[in-house]
Amino acid sequence: MQTPISTHCGYVALVGRPNVGKSTLLNHLIGQKLSITSSKPQTTRHRLLGIKMQAETQILYVDTPGLHQDVHNAMNRYLNRTALSSVDGMDVIVWVVEASRWLEGDNYVLHTLNSITTPVILAVNKVDKVADKTLLLPYLQEVSQKREFSDIFPISALQHKNLDELEQKIIKYLPPNPFLFAEDELTNRSMRFLAAEMVREKLIRRLGAELPYRLTVQTEYFVDKEHFTHISAIIWVERASQKPIVIGKRGSLLKAVGEEARKDIAELLGRKVYLQLWVKIKEGWSDDDRALQQLGYTD
């Protein structure tokens, strides 16, 4: 006779339009900064797994790029493909929207989720930003009519409000399964990948509106030495004119980015880090499928 499985394990996708707070939510759910975030839309470019142990349950959270209709270049098409394919094979979907801010982009997500039969929980994020709380209830009522939801949670990812309640609900949808990952694993992504992402986050946060979309970061060297980890990363831009902007006056911007990223990477690794950054040009990489593949944008 087979003994019944006492553990639960399953996949939970965090989906929604850009900038609603999916990555912030992933980080706060797993209690560690893993996914990069910024006030600019389309920050997340890759699917990212965050593993959370909760007693006899292993929750596999999947952060996704924001779903959007703008598919004017190869990178944008890659982002949408990645986000769309992330919906497959999930045990439950957490659709993230913003409190009192329903945009056309949310209708697009609604349309995308039309055909799926996976349970969908709606997380209405950024409730801390709604000054007049009396507006919240009518908004929740309005969005509850949009489709069938397994549940609706007003949350603040940033202030960690209602996240434990949300997680308790998520757990109910995870099937009996052995753990798919070791109990001390945090993600299936390599440290090389995460290091490049931390550098990209600092660049997005410090640069203007356009340049973040014209650059990507690649770790080229990652070696554990006795007392520190030596990492070297390339920041790829699309044109020669973009290089001096990324470097900044007498290297000031690059220095600040390196210092900030180094701290985040050291915290993730739990050891000292020596980080070198180089800026190089790869003409038109963001609209070139082959260049995208070379730079790690693979389905």
Ligand X SMILES: Nc1nc2c(ncn2[C@@H]2O[C@H](COP(=O)(O)OP(=O)(O)OP(=O)(O)O)[C@@H](O)[C@H]2O)c(=O)[nH]1
Q: Residues in the site for ligand X, rule: CB under 6 A? A: 16, 18-24, 37-39, 41-44, 65-66, 125-126, 128-129, 156-158
Report in angstroms how near the CB of residue 14 gets to ligand X at its nearest. 8
Report in angstroms how near the CB of residue 123 gets to ligand X at its nearest. 10
Compare residues 90 and 94 and give the one whose CB is closer to ligand X: 94
Report in angstroms how near the CB of residue 25 gets to Mg ion at its nearest. 9
Phi/psi region, residue 269 (left: phi>0; alpha: psi -120 to 50; beta: rest), is alpha
Tokens 């694993």 locate to 185
Report in angstroms how near the CB of residue 299 gets to ligand X at its nearest. 18
Handedness of CA 171, 177, 182, 183 (dihedral sign): positive
2 touches, from Mg ion, ligand X, none (C-beta below 5 to 8 Å by class): none
Pick from 35, 32, 37: nearest CA to 19: 37
CA distance 78 to 183: 32
Q: Which helix (H) or strand (E) holds 231?
A: strand 229-237
57 touches, from Mg ion, ligand X, none (C-beta below 5 to 8 Å by class): none
18 touches, from Mg ion, ligand X, none (C-beta below 5 to 8 Å by class): ligand X
38 touches, from ligand X, Mg ion, none (C-beta below 5 to 8 Å by class): ligand X
**CB-based closest residue to ligand X:** 66
CA distance 9 to 271: 31
128 touches, from Mg ion, ligand X, none (C-beta below 5 to 8 Å by class): ligand X
Report in angstroms how near the CB of residue 200 gets to Mg ion at its nearest. 12
> Which residues are CB-neighbours of 110 under 8 A, at least 6 positions away?
146, 147
Tokens 């949808």 locate to 173
Pick from 75, 86, 278, 74: nearest CA to 196: 278
Residues within the interface to Mg ion (CB under 5 A) = 22-23, 43-44
Compare residues 22 and 282 and give the one whose CB is closer to Mg ion: 22
Q: Are the beta carbons of 18 and 97 closer than 8 angstroms?
A: no
42 touches, from Mg ion, ligand X, none (C-beta below 5 to 8 Å by class): ligand X
Report in angstroms how near the CB of residue 169 gets to ligand X at its nearest. 18
CA distance 47 to 65: 7
